[in-house]
Structure 1
Amino acid sequence: MTAKPTILVVEDETIVAMDIRHRLSNLGYAVADVVPSGEQAVDAAQRLRPDVVLMDIMLAGAMDGVQAAGAIAQNCDIPVIFVTAYADEETLQRAKATQPFGYVIKPFNDREVYTAIEMAHYKHSTERLRRKERRWLEATLDSVGEGIVATDATGRVNYLNAMAGRLLGLGLDQARHRPLERVFPLRGEDGQPVDLLPGALGSECPLRAEGLVLRGPAGEIPVDLTACAVPGENGEGRGVVMAFRDVSGRRETMARLRSTVERLRQTVDATVQALVLTSEKRDPYTAGHQQRVARLAVALAARLGMDGQRLEGVRVAGLLHDLGKIYIPAEILSKPARLTPMEFGLMQTHPGVGYEILSGVPFPWPIADFVVQHHERLDGTGYPNGLAGEAISLEARILAVADVVEAMSSHRPYRAALGLEVALDEVRKGRGTRYDETVVDACLELFAAGSFSFEG
Structure 2
Amino acid sequence: MPENINYNAEHVLFVDDEPNILQSYLRTLRSKFSVSIALGGKAALELLESSPPYTVVISDIKMPGMDGVELLSIVRERYPDTVRMVLTGYADLNIAMSAVNQGDIFRFLTKPCHPDDLTKAIVSGVKQYKMTQASRELVAVRRMKEALEGSLRAFTRLVEFRDPYTAGHMDRTAEISSLIATRLGLSPDIIQGLHLAALVHDIGKIAVPSGVLNKPGVLSDAEFALIKTHSLVGAEIFETLATDWPIQRIVLEHHERIDGSGYPNGLKGDEILLESKIISVADSIDAILTTRPYREALNKQKCIDLLEKEKGIKLDTSCVDAGVALLKEGVIFKDLPF
Q: Same fold (TM over 0.5)?
A: yes
- When the two structures are superposed, what TM-score results if normalisation uses the length of structure 1? 0.51
CA contact (8 A) 2:256 2:264 kept: yes
In 2 relative to 1, CA 369–143 (structure 1 residues): closer, same or farther, beyond 3 Å? closer
Listed as ranges, the matches of 1:50-449 within 5 Å are: 137-138=27-28, 140=30, 144=35, 163=58, 165=60, 169-171=86-88, 174=89, 216=100, 218-222=102-106, 242-244=120-122, 245=125, 256-449=136-329
Cα distance, 1:379 vs. partner?
A: 0.5
Q: Distance in 1 between matches of 2:57 and 2:291?
A: 74
Q: Distance in 1 between matches of 2:309 and 2:57?
A: 73
In 2 relative to 1, CA 455–364 (structure 1 residues): closer, same or farther, beyond 3 Å? farther
CA contact (8 A) 1:328 1:346 kept: yes
Cα distance, 1:163 vs. partner?
A: 2.8
Q: Distance in 1 between matches of 2:241 and 2:129?
A: 33
Q: Distance in 2 between matches of 1:335 and 1:455?
A: 28
CA contact (8 A) 2:174 2:199 kept: yes
Structure 1: runs of 5 or more not aligned = 1-133, 147-160, 187-213, 224-229, 231-237
Cα distance, 1:287 vs. partner?
A: 4.0
Q: Distance in 1 between matches of 2:305 and 2:117?
A: 71
Instruction: Give the structure with the larger strand fraction.
Output: 1
> Relative contact order (C-alpha < 8 Å, sep 6+): which is higher?
2
Q: Distance in 1 between matches of 2:139 and 2:215?
A: 46
Percent of residue pairs identical: 33
Cα distance, 1:135 vs. partner?
A: 8.4
In 2 relative to 1, CA 288–243 (structure 1 residues): closer, same or farther, beyond 3 Å? same
Cα distance, 1:425 vs. partner?
A: 1.3
RMSD (CA atoms): 3.9
CA contact (8 A) 2:26 2:36 kept: no
Cα distance, 1:263 vs. partner?
A: 3.4
Task: Indicate the structure (1 or 2) with the bigger Cα radius of gyration.
Answer: 1
Q: Which amino acid aligns with 1:221?
A: I
- The total of aligned residue pairs comes to 266
Cα distance, 1:286 vs. partner?
A: 3.6
Q: Distance in 1 between matches of 2:270 and 2:206?
A: 29
Q: Distance in 2 between matches of 1:298 and 1:424?
A: 19
List per-residue Cα deviations over 1:65-119 (Å, max 9, x = no partner). xxxxxxxxxxxxxxxxxxxxxxxxxxxxxxxxxxxxxxxxxxxxxxxxxxxxxxx
Cα distance, 1:250 vs. partner?
A: 6.0
Q: Which amino acid aligns with 1:243?
A: A
Q: Distance in 2 between matches of 1:336 and 1:374?
A: 24
In 2 relative to 1, CA 274–168 (structure 1 residues): closer, same or farther, beyond 3 Å? closer
Q: Which amino acid aligns with 2:147?
A: T
Cα distance, 1:307 vs. partner?
A: 2.4
CA contact (8 A) 2:156 2:167 kept: no
Q: Distance in 1 between matches of 2:291 and 2:36?
A: 66
In 2 relative to 1, CA 353–139 (structure 1 residues): closer, same or farther, beyond 3 Å? closer
List per-residue Cα deviations over 1:146-173 (Å, max 9, x = no partner). 9xxxxxxxxxxxxxx99364655444xx
In 2 relative to 1, CA 351–220 (structure 1 residues): closer, same or farther, beyond 3 Å? same
In 2 relative to 1, CA 169–395 (structure 1 residues): closer, same or farther, beyond 3 Å? closer
Q: Distance in 1 between matches of 2:194 and 2:334?
A: 17
CA contact (8 A) 1:447 1:453 kept: yes
CA contact (8 A) 1:409 1:419 kept: yes
In 2 relative to 1, CA 264–433 (structure 1 residues): closer, same or farther, beyond 3 Å? same
Instruction: Give the aligned partner of residue 44 of structure 1.
Output: none
Q: Distance in 2 between matches of 1:454 and 1:282?
A: 29
Q: Distance in 1 between matches of 2:252 and 2:204?
A: 9
Q: Distance in 2 between matches of 1:217 and 1:279?
A: 55
Q: Which amino acid aligns with 1:137?
A: R
Q: Which amino acid aligns with 2:58?
A: M
In 2 relative to 1, CA 169–413 (structure 1 residues): closer, same or farther, beyond 3 Å? closer
Cα distance, 1:145 vs. partner?
A: 7.2
CA contact (8 A) 1:286 1:412 kept: no
- When the two structures are superposed, what TM-score results if normalisation uses the length of structure 2? 0.67
Structure 2: runs of 5 or more not aligned = 1-23, 38-55, 61-67, 69-83, 108-113
Cα distance, 1:262 vs. partner?
A: 3.9
Q: Distance in 1 between matches of 2:302 and 2:163?
A: 24
